[in-house]
Structure 1
């Protein structure tokens, strides 16, 4: 029982005061160290500030020395430039002196030459006076010639005005003649149109209403089958018979139309668009031309004047019917007769 109480007393010992004392001691030590550190920082800062001031003072001295050195160099350069200028001026003065001396020497020589040339100048002046007199005489002659040319020019202007007046009269007469010629040509065209109408009316009566022959406008049209065999340019007998009637009517027409009316009978050959395959003709153009020439040659053989005939070939390039098919091809294969102005 007593032992248990003794153990309880031992267990109740209090350590806290000792712990608080240790902490207080440590805190005092830390405060001391911090105070020492701050004091060291203070003295260090003062030392550094003093060094900065010294460094700034040293930099200012260096800047002043640099400025003084630059000023010294500038003054040295100015002095050198001034010395060079003075040297150049001295050299120029020496050259001027030498040139002036040369002028003096040449002036002396010039005076001597002037004295020597005075006589020559007088002789030259006399010669120039004589040349001036001759020039005045020539100017007088030229003035007379200019006056004569002016008189001739005035005469030419008068002649030109008269010529222009005659030209205006001629132009008026030409315009009047042109107007009359146009009227006469119109009358001749009307007369030719009348004869052409009479001729085609006569042909229509002569040839009748035979198939393959027709009148379209101012053209008398033969289908090629009436005059030629297929792919041929030689007239067949039936074609010659029809052309005989044409020749007879043309001969009569030649006697009826006055000689002062220029006219021709143009014979035009046309084909269809089918390419030709013949050793005689290389193209439809050649075939159409050959047929037109054959008709012209036959009419000449029958007594029609060659001066009143012309042959032309158009190939397949002027069709009456642009459609495809045998009917269109047949209409396009044709010989056209047309009376027109020459």
Structure 2
């Protein structure tokens, strides 16, 4: 009787429910604050990284500008050299024309005068060498001009590439500035939202106090209704098992010996066990009809075995698996009889929760059992 009173007092969940409600509210507030702190940290990290990138881009832009000015000076110098070479070519052409005129004059003089025939071939050869040299110089100047033109085109191409890079850098700087502004706007929005939540929390504190009283009274009513349901269920099942030694009541549990429900070493519900479970399911469904639908109750089914090791060739590995399979067999049969799955729970404890620790046949028989009890659902809402 002392054990029964102790267990009934432990079924009062009013205060834990109230504490759970307050702790849930505190966790929500802490979670919101953590989100804000993390967002502040990541935003500051992002902003500092972007400032460093902007400084680096500005340095690159300065270097590119300096390179561009150097290339422009080089282009100006090449242009001036080109103009000098062109003037030299013009002078050479003028000299060549003059030499041609002189040569033609010499030829005319040789043709017109017999005394010019005495001119030595050496002088004529020298004149020819001079003319050839002038022609070669002119050809070299032309080649130099062509090479300078090609170099100038290469330089122009390099200048265009650098200008394109500068434009791309400027566009990237604009994008980074825009992203920085967006981040600042988001930070401002988060700060505004946090202020709104703080103001809302101040208003809700008053409501929580009044709601706590309602929750306590509602929980008390639900516990009372569940206790009434359990009492009614116990009374009817007691009437069913009256005078039967193989089915016992221990505290708030019904204890079915495994031999009533299963054959020795089997995890399949036997015919006798099915009849017992049909009666139990019928009683449970009949009582449930008079119970409010919003009361969360569960029929907990626990499987237990003796401490003898599992024999080779069985379909289960150990007593853990055997106890679990037996509990699941009962659970599945009750579902077939119409009990809702959300009202059932099954667990296996193997041989580790005996009710008789003696190493006797009678003790092992007691320990092979299926226990059932009505309890309250532990699901979170």
Are the counterparts in 2 of residues 268 and 335 from structure 1 also a CA contact under 8 Å?
yes
Pick aligned residue for 1:280 from 301, 315, 329: 315
**Which SS does the other structure have where 2:353 is aligned?**
coil
The equivalences for 1:246-265 within 5 A come to 246-265=280-299
Alignment of 1:303-342 (within 5 A): 303-342=338-377
Cα distance in 2 for residues equivalent to 1:174 and 1:188: 20
Q: State the Cα distance separating 1:163 from its structure 2 match.
A: 7.2
TM-score, length-scaled by structure 2: 0.46
Is the radius of gyration larger for structure 1 or structure 2?
Answer: 1
Distance 1:182 1:228 in 2: 44
Q: 1:232 aligns with which of 266, 269, 292?
A: 266
Distance in 2 separating the partners of 1:253 and 1:305: 14
1:188 aligns with 2:222: yes
How far apart in 1 are the matches of 2:260 and 2:301?
15
| In structure 2, distance between residues paired with 1:329 and 1:172 | 59
Superposition pairs for residues 1-342 of structure 1, below 5 Å?
167-278=201-312, 279-342=314-377
1:317 partner SS: coil
The offset of 1:182, in angstroms, is 3.0
Instruction: Measure, in 1, the Cα distance between the counterparts of 2:203 and 2:358.
Output: 60
Shift of 1:169: 3.3
**Residue of structure 1 equivalent to 2:103:** none
* Secondary structure of residue in 2 paired with 1:215: strand
State the alpha-carbon separation in 1 of the partners of residues 325 and 285 from structure 2: 23
> What is the alpha-carbon distance in structure 2 between the residues aligned to residue 216 and residue 320 of structure 1?
10
Q: Is the 8 A contact 1:207 1:245 kept in 2?
A: no
**TM superposition outliers: structure 1 runs of 4+ over 4 Å:** 162-166
Contact (CA 8 Å) 1:320, 1:332: kept in 2 or not? Answer: yes
Question: Over residues 1-60 of structure 1, what are the superposed CA-to-partner deviations in whole Å (9 max), with x where a residue is unaligned?
Answer: xxxxxxxxxxxxxxxxxxxxxxxxxxxxxxxxxxxxxxxxxxxxxxxxxxxxxxxxxxxx
Take 2:310 and 2:342, find their aligned partners in 1: how far apart are those partners? 32
**How many angstroms apart in 2 are the aligned matches of 1:281 and 1:218?**
30
Count of aligned pairs between the two proteins: 186
Deviation of 1:230 after TM superposition, in Å, equals 0.8
Q: Higher relative contact order by CA 8 Å / sep ≥ 6: 1 or 2?
A: 2
